[in-house]
Structure 1
């Protein structure tokens, strides 16, 4: 396994995930009866900051439909958590207007590059162009000086 499991942290993530789903109106329990669901969810609310109780609740009362989704969410959260520790692996984001993103995506496909590689390529090209323009203007100025003498 690539990422270490931290039991206390993952129990907290599970609790937050389940509470979020409950507040969105999903049935997070394996029970159909509304009053029973409410009582069981209230037990989950009292389990906050008690990892052992959260794990017990998940094993006993969680809806089987949520098992895979919860595991995927925890796996993704674990990956983001450990990747965020290093500056190089931490994900960054930028806001682009749709038209800009569309042009960049088309250019990326044309160049057979990722969006990040394409942005790097465009920046490198721009820097190189500026460098050459500076060199040419210096050469023109020196030629002008020579011709004036």
Structure 2
């Protein structure tokens, strides 16, 4: 089996930027991204991180020395997800698209998917295939009926 870390190659500079974006977003949401309790020290270290935006080595160094321990796993998970989306977006077959559904529609689709033991995407594809098959069948039946009618009228 293919190793996931091999499948999605790490891009050090790109990932440092993603980490920077993640941490800055968390900070803007009011979360303490540093390992320090003192407010002025937190602000100072966040300022240092802001200044290191275009320097991947400095971002990694800041993370190693100042990031809150509670964010280690969360940051790793966020970067792995971002890496996967980044590489999947390169190929049309793995590129993800999202659609907005009304809650009631999503709920029905979700229940049906679970019943069919399929993903939402598989269920939608199945439903479209079924509808297309039904339309083809109806078209063939109409053609057969018309053919029989012509034969009987001769």
Same fold by TM-score greater than 0.5: yes
TM-score range, shorter chain: over 0.9
Shift in Å, 1:106 = 2.0
RMSD: 1.3
* Equivalent position to 1:76, from 73, 76, 81: 81
Aligned to 1:117: 122
Shift in Å, 1:96 = 1.3
Distance 1:30 1:113 in 2: 43
* Equivalent position to 2:100, from 74, 95, 101: 95
Shift in Å, 1:58 = 1.0
TM-score (norm 1): 0.93
Q: In the comparison of the two structures, how many residue pairs are matched?
A: 149
Aligned to 1:8: 13
Distance 1:8 1:134 in 2: 57
Shift in Å, 1:131 = 1.1
Distance 1:111 1:45 in 2: 49
- Larger displacement relative to structure 2 (24-33 or 99-108): 99-108
Ranges in structure 1 where 5+ consecutive residues have no aligned partner: none
Deviations 1:44-81 (A, max 9, x none): 11101111111111111111111111111111111111
TM-score (norm 2): 0.90
